[in-house]
């Protein structure tokens, strides 16, 4: 069915008013319009649009080493990824499925730690903090990347391993916890489409962060990245072996599926207007535009054919051209890529050789 025009949407909005349904922002195949219905109903489904949804929000703040609340996220987050920009501190990963007292570090192989002074609660418009230096160091500039999954987890029996899943189907993101069975078990992810990325970490033992997927040279069951390492694409046939619209297959590696060990997986599927996962070849020339179909707010870059950092840029820590980077695999402080990356209305391009070097192949994860 053809996508309705803005004028047609206004007409539908008028009909909604007549029916007593409040108008609000809606998402029409990735486009925002202010004319429609506050919740999906028979009419909105017929015309192919649905109520707007959020996936990612970035907030920056200055730590004060005092218990406090951070607001302005725009939703109650299910995953909060925090990095102290000014101090040598590890990246914090805390999510609502494991619970706000359970902490993992993307820059370490450590098993899950229990904490009471990092995130003390997930709140309607953000989260509350304790006094931990990595999340609230006094006088330190800090960034938090907040992701919305599906709230309280539900039991999923789609695979041979029962999982707990919090899924944002519209946003293409789910948080999954499960216990490995050492037998190439399948694990339900709740997204309804084949995921492009399955990022897995053992909770009850030390392990690498297994980054598997099907984009930019990544092939399930063939190769991987490790979020805690600088290595490029590395051959591996024993981590996430396959994925489909219901499940992913966890191999017998200690990083994804050892018998009796507990795991968490962060699962992403590309969604039009929300996320784009791609690759490009550097050319040392200003430009080299990559099209996403939306204006990015957050991008992670990784070189496939060379050992190097994970480069994280966002639109809150600086303006175009974005130069301020953080590295997911290191506790290092914020650093600069010399030329910068322009976030455009429908993609991004480069000011020069930074993240655009001839002879290097790059992957990227871009989010609106």
- Render pLDDT for 301-337 as a digit per residue (tens, 0 to 9): 999 999 999 999 999 999 999 999 999 999 999 999 9
Average pLDDT of the chain to the nearest whole number: 88
Lowest-pLDDT range, 50-54, 162-166, 222-226, 256-260?
50-54
Model confidence at 238: pLDDT above 50: yes
pLDDT (0 to 100) of residue 152: 98
Model confidence at 151: pLDDT above 70: yes
Helix (H, G, I), strand (E, B) or coil at 134: helix
Nearest Cα to Cα of residue 162 among 196, 145, 183, 186: 186
- Render pLDDT for 249-285 as a digit per residue (tens, 0 to 9): 999 999 999 999 999 999 999 999 999 999 999 999 9
Total Cβ atoms within 10 A of residue 63: 23
Higher pLDDT, 187 or 50: 187
- Region 210-223: mean pLDDT is 98
- What are the domain boundaries of the chain? 6-51, 56-147, 154-268, 275-367
Give dist(CA 239, CA 19) in Å, integer: 53
- Kindly indicate the confidence band of residue 49, based on its pLDDT and cuts at 50, 70 and 90: very low
To the nearest whole percent, how much of the chain has pLDDT over 90? 85
Model confidence at 2: pLDDT above 90: no
């Amino acid at each position: 069915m053809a996508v309705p025009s803005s004028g047609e949407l206004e007409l539908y909005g008028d009909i909604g008013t007549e029916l007593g349904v409040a108008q609000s922002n809606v998402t029409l195949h990735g486009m925002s319009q202010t004319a429609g219905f506050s919740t999906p109903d028979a009419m909105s489904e017929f015309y192919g649009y649905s109520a707007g949804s959020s996936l990612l929000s970035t907030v920056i703040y200055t730590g004060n080493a005092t218990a406090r609340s951070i607001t302005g996220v725009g939703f109650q987050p299910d995953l909060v990824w925090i990095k102290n920009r000014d101090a040598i501190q590890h990246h914090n990963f805390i999510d609502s499925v494991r619970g706000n007292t359970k902490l993992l570090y993307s820059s370490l192989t450590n098993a899950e730690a229990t904490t009471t002074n990092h995130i003390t609660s997930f709140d309607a418009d953000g989260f509350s903090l304790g006094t931990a230096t990595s999340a609230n160091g006094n006088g330190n500039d800090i960034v938090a990347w907040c992701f919305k999954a599906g709230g309280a987890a539900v039991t999923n029996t789609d695979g041979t391993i029962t999982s707990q899943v919090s899924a944002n189907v519209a946003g293409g993101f789910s948080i999954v916890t499960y216990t490995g069975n050492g037998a190439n078990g399948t694990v339900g992810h709740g997204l309804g489409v084949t995921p492009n990325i399955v990022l897995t970490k053992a909770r009850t033992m030390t392990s690498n962060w297994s980054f598997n997927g099907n984009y930019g040279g990544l092939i399930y069951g063939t190769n991987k990245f490790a979020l805690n390492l600088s290595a490029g694409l590395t051959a591996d046939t024993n981590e996430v072996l396959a994925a489909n619209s219901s499940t992913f297959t966890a191999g017998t590696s200690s990083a994804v599926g050892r018998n009796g060990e507990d795991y968490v997986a962060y699962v992403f599927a590309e969604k039009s207007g929300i996320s784009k996962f791609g690759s490009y070849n550097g050319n040392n020339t200003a430009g080299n535009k990559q099209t996403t179909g939306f204006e990015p707010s957050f991008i992670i870059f990784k070189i496939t054919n060379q050992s190097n950092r994970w480069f994280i840029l966002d639109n809150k820590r600086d303006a175009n051209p974005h130069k301020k980077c953080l590295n997911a695999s290191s506790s290092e402080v914020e650093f600069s890529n010399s030329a910068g990356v322009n976030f455009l209305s429908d993609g991004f391009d480069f000011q020069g050789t930074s993240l655009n070097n001839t002879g290097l192949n790059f992957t990227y994860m871009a989010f609106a």
